[in-house]
């Protein structure tokens, strides 16, 4: 597995197992055979093509596009939209998506956030 620390100039194409602990200035494309673990930041969009696998622990300032035949586990932060165009997208309870989550095709699962019985949300007023 290849690991990268520090800043990488984009666009970046991932076609092998790859862990990023730094940042990418531009778009990232994960193609067939690519397994991408994002533990840093992407200052652009993330495109996961057919056969690509991704686990997001970090931040994406743009959009996430999940194509047919790909798989994404999202546990980080996306500033834009998450669009599933036919792949498998799993959104962890700890994940944040500031844009919209759209499923055009494929399977999108959103893990429910845990609610403690009897607890109030911050915006709720006591009776």
Domain edges within the chain: 2-103
Contact between residue 79 and residue 58 where contact means Cβ atoms under 8 Å apart: no
Each residue's pLDDT expressed in tens, for the chain with a length of 127 residues: 788 788 988 799 999 999 999 999 999 999 999 999 999 999 999 999 999 999 999 999 999 999 999 999 999 999 999 999 999 999 998 899 999 999 999 899 988 876 666 666 555 555 5
pTM value is: 0.84
Of 42, 54, 36, the residue nearest 92 (C-alpha): 54
């Amino acid at each position: 597995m290849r690991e990268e620390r520090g800043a990488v100039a984009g666009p970046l194409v991932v076609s092998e197992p790859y862990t990023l602990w730094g940042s990418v200035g531009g778009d990232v494309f994960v193609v067939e055979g690519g397994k991408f673990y994002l533990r840093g930041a992407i200052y652009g969009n993330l495109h996961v093509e057919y056969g690509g696998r991704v686990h997001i622990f970090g931040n994406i300032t743009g959009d996430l596009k999940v194509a047919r035949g790909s798989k994404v586990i999202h546990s980080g932060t996306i500033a834009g939209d998450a669009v599933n165009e036919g792949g498998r997208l799993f959104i962890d309870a700890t994940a944040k998506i500031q844009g919209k989550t759209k499923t055009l095709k494929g399977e999108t699962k959103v893990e429910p956030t845990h609610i403690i019985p009897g607890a109030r949300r911050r915006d709720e007023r006591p009776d």
